[in-house]
């Protein structure tokens, strides 16, 4: 069975230094501990800079002894991430997973993956080929995708806005708060309630 | 006697493979002797159908044999390196259970080996505090509730159990388990498993450990027969890959298909693939289709008129009846739908040309069917013979001994005959796969092959007939029959004659039929284009060795060594056997001459 107390600890720990780490974790729909949503900010100095990337996280019943299943919701142009469905090719999410790793360390690893692609072990062959053959073009595409999909008007963001608006908050305020919390629904909700 | 000879051979060959055997030799020979007696006894009991002519170059291992050997290896490493049993086990597992490799690596660079495998020189104590946080569930526990591997990274018992349990249910990877801390590579060995895993998981773990000893070791393989628990240790470089397990299943050690000597593994693989693809369809295709006269693909006519258009890319349009081009049809042929060319031509007997074309198209299928039918018939005939052999051993022999007032020990010749039949059916079966791949244009070879095969087959049929039918009379007789002794001589004679035919056949095929051709061995070797020789051998050997060396894909060295061994150690190898004065072939246990074939 899923170790719920560990997941709860991880949620608290994962959001402790969101400002500096650029990583946050939240429940996806408020009740289900096995379905979470993570966000990472694009690392500075990469084509992903300025973007906020949403990652869908599903915890198998064997978690933390089995790795969490992670997938990019935000579309991203990267050799190790499928441009079609956001599937990730990263060893610690597969055979190199250890129960002493956490969702936060996994998200930080994803952030590191954005900084340091491994085109020799690609998930998306098209992207990897472009990365190796025409790096400049790769950077251009990746940046364009970041602008298009990972900035505040992204699909993930729209969903969150819609959800909070449905709770009865004015859309302008919701967008402003979500912007400030870098898309973290729970924190945004807290701010909206307190403000 | 035989077994002693074998040991000589085994050592000769072993010394050629330094990398593999250097560390094991002293121990290996001890084991070998002991195992040898065991296997030999077994074959006396007659299960071993190949015992007649085969040098045993392998050892059958039961589960308890395997455990014992594994334990011995672990003990040896642990003693020599002065490390714990668990550490020795981890090391051996990492170096694929090669004791010599562990020794080499360890004494070359112990520090590096320790790092790679995850063995610390001195265990690290857990942090000395009353309460410690578990690195997995993040709860705090008093230090006596925590466990750590040699690295001292503490985790609570519940998390350890989860970690170990998940690893074991994930598969044999659990044998290489490391500390859960991602920055730490310290090995988690069997001692921890024993302490932390559930009983069921412990059993699984020890099963994986056992399997790993066989599966990771280049010298050993499991018997592929379903449900069989024996493993086979093979002496690398032996002359034959054929292995007979204690479960009585015979298989090729190299490719683990059923035993197929004298045909090589590549031919067998091709043949089996072909059979999977075609055998079931063959009858149907032959009964229901005609090949397109142009592209030869089989076509089924399931409805409609006689105007057939072959599927692209061929698109040839032809008449189903006469298989002639449709463009030639029309009023002249009695209308499109009544091709009387066919009738007329047939009546005139002038239909040879297109009939022959159809013949040729059908030929490739028919050729295959010809060989397949004979292959399959010998296969089922062998199964039947095997069943007959068992019923003979289990009931009929006793009955016969009763009816003919002969002690069972005097009736062994009947078992010998059946063993020979079973073995010959197997060889004959595979020669049909060989024949299928023997090129049409190798005319001389083909003739020689078919002659040998025909002789062998005829001999076998006589023997089979005699063992099956003639014996029946004596089984049913009310009182001892006078001419039973005559029968004994006949059956034993047929057995040895048939054996000789087959030995000749096997030898000829294993040497790529090189005796054929007017220009002598060497020249022939270079022109040799039989399927076997196309597979290539490693050059750089003398002409003679090279021909033999080409007879099997990866076994080429084995064959070569066997032949060199035969030449140089002939006196040793033929000790206890008789040699035919005319052909210089050893003639097996009975010392009978090779008869007709030497004339």
Write out pLDDT tens, residues B383-393: 889 999 999 88
* Identity of the residue in A3, A96, A100 whose CB atom sits nearest the CB atom of B180: A100
Under the banding of pLDDT at 50, 70 and 90, the label for residue B282 is low
Q: What is the mean pLDDT of residues B452-474?
A: 88
Q: What is the mean pLDDT of residues B221-250?
A: 87
Least confident of A38-47, B6-15, B288-297, B502-511: B6-15
Report the gap between the CA of A13 and the closest CA in chain B (Å): 11
Between B34 and B289, where is the model more confident? B289
Print burial letters for A80-96: b (CB count within 10 Å at least 16), e (below 16). bbbbeebebbbebbeee
User: Across A138-142, B467-471, B527-531, which has the greatest mean pLDDT?
Assistant: A138-142
Under the banding of pLDDT at 50, 70 and 90, the label for residue B358 is low
% of chain A beyond a pLDDT of 70 = 94
Which of B426, B414, B424 lies closest to B468, judged by CA?
B414
Q: Is residue A159 part of a domain?
A: no
Beta-carbon contacts of B536 under 8 Å, excluding residues fewer than 6 positions away, are B550
- Is the pLDDT score of B23 beyond 80? no
Q: Which residues of B touch A96 (CB under 8 A)?
A: 182
* Identity of the residue in A62, A66, A101 whose CB atom sits nearest the CB atom of B182: A101
Check residue B332 and give its pLDDT: 58
Under the banding of pLDDT at 50, 70 and 90, the label for residue B535 is very low
Q: Is residue A165 part of a domain?
A: no
Q: How many CB atoms lie within 10 A of CB B365?
A: 17
Under the banding of pLDDT at 50, 70 and 90, the label for residue B18 is very low
**Looking at the structure, do residues B71 and B138 belong to the same domain, yes or no?**
no
**Looking at the structure, do residues B142 and B112 belong to the same domain, yes or no?**
no
Q: Are B233 and B218 in contact (CB under 8 A)?
A: no
Q: Is residue B341 part of a domain?
A: yes
Q: Is residue B125 part of a domain?
A: no
Q: Is residue B329 part of a domain?
A: yes
- Is the pLDDT score of B501 beyond 60? yes
Q: What is the mean pLDDT of residues B27-32?
A: 39
Between B292 and B208, where is the model more confident? B208
Q: Do B180 and A6 touch (CB under 8 A)?
A: no
Q: What is the mean pLDDT of residues B314-341?
A: 66
- Is the pLDDT score of B45 beyond 70? no
Q: Which residues of A touch B137 (CB under 8 A)?
A: 3, 5-6
- Is the pLDDT score of B526 beyond 60? no
**Looking at the structure, do residues B407 and B541 belong to the same domain, yes or no?**
yes
Q: Is residue A177 part of a domain?
A: no
Structural domain boundaries, residue A77:
4-151
Q: Is residue A141 part of a domain?
A: yes
Nearest chain A residue to B158, by CA: A3
Cα B103 from chain centroid (whole Å): 32
Q: Do B137 and A3 touch (CB under 8 A)?
A: yes
B483 burial level (CB within 10 Å; 0-12, 13-18, 19+): exposed
Note whether A98 contacts B: Cβ–Cβ < 8 A: yes
* Identity of the residue in B135, B138, B163 whose CB atom sits nearest the CB atom of A65: B163
Which of B534, B574, B573, B572 lies closest to B556, judged by CA?
B534
B58 burial level (CB within 10 Å; 0-12, 13-18, 19+): buried
Note whether B163 contacts A: Cβ–Cβ < 8 A: yes
Under the banding of pLDDT at 50, 70 and 90, the label for residue B564 is very low
| Domain closes at, from B77, B97, B119 | B119
Least confident of B108-122, B136-150, B419-433, B511-525: B511-525
Least confident of A173-182, B119-128, B329-338: B329-338
The two structure tokens encoding residue B599:
């004339």
**Looking at the structure, do residues B69 and B169 belong to the same domain, yes or no?**
no
Note whether A2 contacts B: Cβ–Cβ < 8 A: no
Q: Do A66 and B135 touch (CB under 8 A)?
A: no
B138, B139, B165, B173: which to substitute to probe chain A, counting the most A Cβ within 10 Å?
A: B138
CATH number of residue A77's parent domain: 3.10.110.10
pLDDT tens-place string over residues A89-123: 888 888 789 999 999 999 999 999 999 998 877 78
Q: Are A134 and A142 in contact (CB under 8 A)?
A: no
B223 burial level (CB within 10 Å; 0-12, 13-18, 19+): buried
Start-end of H helices in B438-542 = 443-465, 471-476, 484-510, 520-527, 531-534
Least confident of A109-123, B266-280, B504-518, B574-588: B574-588
Q: Do A98 and B159 touch (CB under 8 A)?
A: no
The two structure tokens encoding residue B516:
């054929």
Report the gap between the CA of B170 and the closest CA in chain A (Å): 10
* Overall number of domains in chain A: 1
Q: Do A65 and B162 touch (CB under 8 A)?
A: yes
* Identity of the residue in B139, B163, B173 whose CB atom sits nearest the CB atom of A99: B163
| Domain closes at, from B182, B197, B212 | B197
Q: Which residues of A touch B135 (CB under 8 A)?
A: 100
Report the gap between the CA of B78 and the closest CA in chain A (Å): 30
In this structure, the dihedral spanned by the alpha carbons of residues A77, A78, A81 and A84, taken in order and rounded to 10 degrees, is 30
* Identity of the residue in A62, A96, A100 whose CB atom sits nearest the CB atom of B181: A100
Check residue A42 and give its pLDDT: 92
Nearest chain A residue to B136, by CA: A100
**Looking at the structure, do residues B193 and B312 belong to the same domain, yes or no?**
no
Check residue B521 and give its pLDDT: 39
Q: Do A100 and B182 touch (CB under 8 A)?
A: yes
Which of B90, B31, B96 lies closest to B65, judged by CA?
B31
* Overall number of domains in chain B: 4
A11, A59, A61, A65: which to substitute to probe chain B, counting the most B Cβ within 10 Å?
A: A65
Note whether A5 contacts B: Cβ–Cβ < 8 A: yes
Q: Which residues of B touch A5 (CB under 8 A)?
A: 137, 139
The two structure tokens encoding residue B542:
């003398």
Check residue B278 and give its pLDDT: 58
- Is the pLDDT score of B570 beyond 50? no
Distance CA B588, CA B47 (A): 18
Check residue A4 and give its pLDDT: 84
**Looking at the structure, do residues B432 and B539 belong to the same domain, yes or no?**
yes
Beta-carbon contacts of B37 under 8 Å, excluding residues fewer than 6 positions away, are B3
**Looking at the structure, do residues B78 and B143 belong to the same domain, yes or no?**
no
Q: Which residues of A touch B176 (CB under 8 A)?
A: none
Report the gap between the CA of A67 and the closest CA in chain B (Å): 11
Between A118 and B542, where is the model more confident? A118
Check residue B77 and give its pLDDT: 94
Q: Is residue B13 part of a domain?
A: no
**Looking at the structure, do residues B299 and B405 belong to the same domain, yes or no?**
no
Between B52 and B349, where is the model more confident? B349
Under the banding of pLDDT at 50, 70 and 90, the label for residue B273 is confident
* Identity of the residue in B137, B138, B166 whose CB atom sits nearest the CB atom of A66: B166
Q: Do A6 and B165 touch (CB under 8 A)?
A: no
User: Across B26-40, B243-257, B502-516, which has the greatest mean pLDDT?
Assistant: B243-257
CB pairs under 8 A between A and B: 34
Nearest chain A residue to B174, by CA: A95
**Looking at the structure, do residues B447 and B477 belong to the same domain, yes or no?**
yes
Least confident of A77-86, A89-98, B347-356: B347-356
Continuous segment of H or E residues that includes residue B308: strand B307-309
Nearest chain A residue to B165, by CA: A65
Q: What is the mean pLDDT of residues B569-580?
A: 36
Note whether A62 contacts B: Cβ–Cβ < 8 A: yes
Q: Do A99 and B136 touch (CB under 8 A)?
A: yes
The two structure tokens encoding residue A36:
């979470």
**Looking at the structure, do residues B418 and B336 belong to the same domain, yes or no?**
no
SS (H, E, C) B327-351: HHCCHHHCCCCCCHHHHHHHHHCCC
Q: Which residues of A touch B155 (CB under 8 A)?
A: 100
Q: Is residue A192 part of a domain?
A: no
Q: What is the mean pLDDT of residues B355-363?
A: 56
Under the banding of pLDDT at 50, 70 and 90, the label for residue B14 is very low
Under the banding of pLDDT at 50, 70 and 90, the label for residue B321 is low
Check residue B345 and give its pLDDT: 56
Note whether B181 contacts A: Cβ–Cβ < 8 A: yes
Which of B437, B458, B444 lies closest to B515, judged by CA?
B444
The two structure tokens encoding residue A121:
């072990």
Q: Supply the mean pLDDT for chain B.
A: 73
Q: Are A83 and A75 in contact (CB under 8 A)?
A: yes
Distance CA B275, CA B379 (A): 13
Note whether A91 contacts B: Cβ–Cβ < 8 A: no
Q: State whether residue B104 is helix, strand or coil.
A: helix
Report the gap between the CA of B162 and the closest CA in chain A (Å): 7
Q: Which residues of B touch A101 (CB under 8 A)?
A: 182
Q: What's the sign of the alpha-carbon dihedral A156, A159, A164, A165? A: positive
Q: Is residue B202 part of a domain?
A: no
% of chain B beyond a pLDDT of 90 = 28
Least confident of A132-141, B176-185, B286-295: B286-295
Report the gap between the CA of A106 and the closest CA in chain B (Å): 12
- Is the pLDDT score of A46 beyond 90? yes
Distance CA B397, CA B394 (A): 7
Q: What is the mean pLDDT of residues B464-473?
A: 87
Check residue B494 and give its pLDDT: 93
Note whether A99 contacts B: Cβ–Cβ < 8 A: yes
Q: State whether residue B233 is helix, strand or coil.
A: strand
Distance CA A36, CA A6 (A): 14
Structural domain boundaries, residue B149:
131-197
Q: Which residues of B touch A13 (CB under 8 A)?
A: 138
Instruction: From residue B328, give the alpha-carbon distance in Å to each of A20, B301, B324, B334, B341.
Output: 87, 20, 7, 11, 10
Between B529 and B320, where is the model more confident? B320
Nearest chain B residue to A96, by CA: B182
Beta-carbon contacts of B256 under 8 Å, excluding residues fewer than 6 positions away, are B221, B224
Distance CA A108, CA A41 (A): 10
% of chain B beyond a pLDDT of 70 = 67
Annotated catalytic sites of A, by residue?
A: 89
Between B347 and B573, where is the model more confident? B347
**Looking at the structure, do residues B142 and B84 belong to the same domain, yes or no?**
no
Report the gap between the CA of B115 and the closest CA in chain A (Å): 18
- Is the pLDDT score of B329 beyond 80? no
Q: Are B307 and B317 in contact (CB under 8 A)?
A: yes
Report the gap between the CA of A153 and the closest CA in chain B (Å): 37
Report the gap between the CA of A185 and the closest CA in chain B (Å): 26
Under the banding of pLDDT at 50, 70 and 90, the label for residue A60 is very high
* Identity of the residue in B136, B139, B165 whose CB atom sits nearest the CB atom of A100: B136
Q: Is residue A168 part of a domain?
A: no
Check residue B297 and give its pLDDT: 73
Q: Do A9 and B182 touch (CB under 8 A)?
A: no
Angle between helices B99-108 and B63-81 (to 10 degrees): 20
Nearest chain B residue to A62, by CA: B166
Q: State whether residue A94 is helix, strand or coil.
A: coil
Q: What is the mean pLDDT of residues B243-249?
A: 88
Catalytic option among B228, B292, B305, B310: B305
**Half-sphere exposure of B456 toward its Cβ, with a 13 Å CA cutoff?**
30
Q: Is residue B259 part of a domain?
A: no
**Looking at the structure, do residues B415 and B543 belong to the same domain, yes or no?**
yes
Check residue B470 and give its pLDDT: 86
pLDDT tens-place string over residues B419-451: 999 999 999 999 998 888 887 777 888 888 888
Counting every residue written for chain A, the total comes to 195
């Amino acid at each position: 069975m899923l170790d719920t107390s560990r997941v709860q600890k991880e949620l608290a720990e994962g959001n402790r230094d969101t400002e500096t780490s650029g990583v946050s974790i939240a429940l996806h729909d408020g009740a289900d501990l096995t379905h979470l949503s993570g966000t990472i900010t694009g690392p500075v100095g990469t084509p992903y800079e300025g973007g906020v990337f949403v990652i869908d996280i599903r915890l198998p019943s064997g978690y933390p002894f089995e790795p969490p299943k992670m997938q990019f919701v935000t579309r991203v142009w990267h050799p190790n991430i499928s441009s079609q469905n956001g599937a990730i090719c990263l060893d610690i999410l597969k055979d190199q997973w250890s129960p002493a790793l956490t969702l936060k360390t996994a998200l930080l690893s994803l952030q590191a993956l954005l900084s340091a692609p491994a085109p020799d072990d690609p998930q998306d062959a098209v992207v990897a080929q472009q990365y190796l053959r025409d790096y400049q073009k790769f950077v251009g595409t990746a940046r364009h995708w970041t602008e298009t999909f990972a900035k505040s008007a992204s699909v993930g963001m729209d969903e969150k806005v819609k959800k909070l608006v449905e709770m009865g908050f004015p859309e302008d305020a919701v967008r402003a708060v979500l912007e400030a919390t870098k898309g973290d629904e729970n924190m945004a909700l807290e701010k909206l309630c307190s403000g | 006697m035989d077994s002693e000879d074998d040991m000589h051979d085994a050592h000769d060959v072993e010394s050629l493979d330094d990398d593999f055997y250097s560390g094991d030799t002293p121990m290996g020979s001890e084991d070998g002797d002991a195992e040898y007696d065991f296997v030999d006894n077994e074959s006396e009991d007659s299960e071993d159908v190949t015992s007649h002519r085969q040098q045993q170059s392998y050892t059958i291992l039961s589960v308890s044999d395997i455990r014992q050997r594994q334990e011995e290896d672990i003990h040896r490493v642990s003693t020599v390196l002065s490390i714990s049993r668990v550490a020795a086990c981890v090391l051996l597992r990492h170096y694929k259970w090669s004791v010599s490799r562990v020794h080499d690596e360890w004494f070359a660079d112990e520090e590096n080996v320790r790092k790679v495998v995850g063995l610390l020189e001195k265990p690290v104590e857990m942090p000395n505090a009353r309460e410690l946080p578990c690195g997995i569930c993040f709860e705090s526990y008093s230090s006596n509730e925590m466990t750590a591997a040699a690295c001292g990274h503490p985790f609570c018992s519940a998390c350890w159990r989860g970690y170990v349990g998940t690893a074991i249910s994930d598969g044999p990877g659990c044998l290489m388990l490391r500390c859960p801390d991602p920055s730490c590579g310290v090995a988690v060995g069997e001692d921890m498993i024993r302490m932390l895993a559930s009983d069921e998981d412990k059993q699984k773990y020890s099963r994986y450990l056992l399997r790993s000893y066989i599966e990771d070791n280049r010298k050993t393989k499991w018997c592929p027969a379903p449900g069989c628990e024996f493993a086979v240790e093979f002496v690398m470089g032996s002359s034959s890959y054929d292995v007979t397990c204690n479960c009585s299943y015979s298989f090729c050690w190299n490719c683990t298909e059923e035993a197929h000597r004298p045909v090589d593994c590549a031919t067998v693989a091709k043949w089996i693939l072909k059979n999977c693809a075609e055998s079931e369809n063959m009858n149907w295709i032959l009964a229901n289709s005609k090949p397109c006269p142009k592209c030869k693909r089989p076509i089924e006519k399931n409805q409609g008129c006689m105007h057939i258009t072959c599927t692209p890319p061929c698109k040839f349009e032809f008449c189903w009846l006469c298989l002639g081009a449709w463009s030639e049809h029309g009023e002249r042929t009695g209308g499109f739908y009544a091709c009387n060319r066919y009738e007329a031509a047939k009546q005139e007997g002038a239909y040879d040309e297109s009939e022959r074309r159809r013949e040729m198209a059908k030929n490739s299928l028919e050729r295959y069917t010809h060989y397949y039918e004979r292959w399959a018939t010998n296969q089922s005939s062998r199964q039947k013979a095997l069943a007959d052999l068992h019923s003979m051993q289990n009931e009929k022999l006793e009955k016969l001994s009763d009816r003919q007032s002969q002690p069972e020990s005097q009736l062994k010749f009947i078992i010998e005959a059946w063993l020979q039949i079973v073995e010959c059916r197997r060889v004959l079966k595979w020669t049909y796969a060989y024949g299928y791949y023997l090129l049409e244009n190798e005319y001389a070879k083909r003739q020689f092959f078919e002659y040998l095969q025909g002789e062998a087959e005829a001999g076998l049929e006589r023997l089979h007939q005699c063992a099956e039918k003639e014996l029946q009379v004596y089984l049913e007789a009310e009182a001892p029959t006078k001419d039973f002794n005559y029968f004994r001589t006949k059956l034993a004679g047929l057995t040895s004659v048939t054996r000789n035919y087959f030995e000749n056949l096997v030898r000829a095929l294993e040497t790529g039929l090189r005796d054929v051709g007017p220009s002598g061995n060497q020249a022939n070797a270079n022109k040799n284009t039989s399927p076997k020789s196309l597979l290539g051998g490693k050059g750089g050997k003398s002409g003679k060795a090279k021909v033999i060396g080409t007879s099997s894909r990866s076994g080429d060295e084995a064959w070569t060594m066997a032949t060199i061994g035969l030449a140089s150690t002939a006196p040793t190898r033929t000790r206890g056997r008789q040699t035919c004065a005319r052909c210089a072939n050893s003639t097996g246990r009975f010392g009978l001459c090779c008869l007709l074939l030497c004339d």
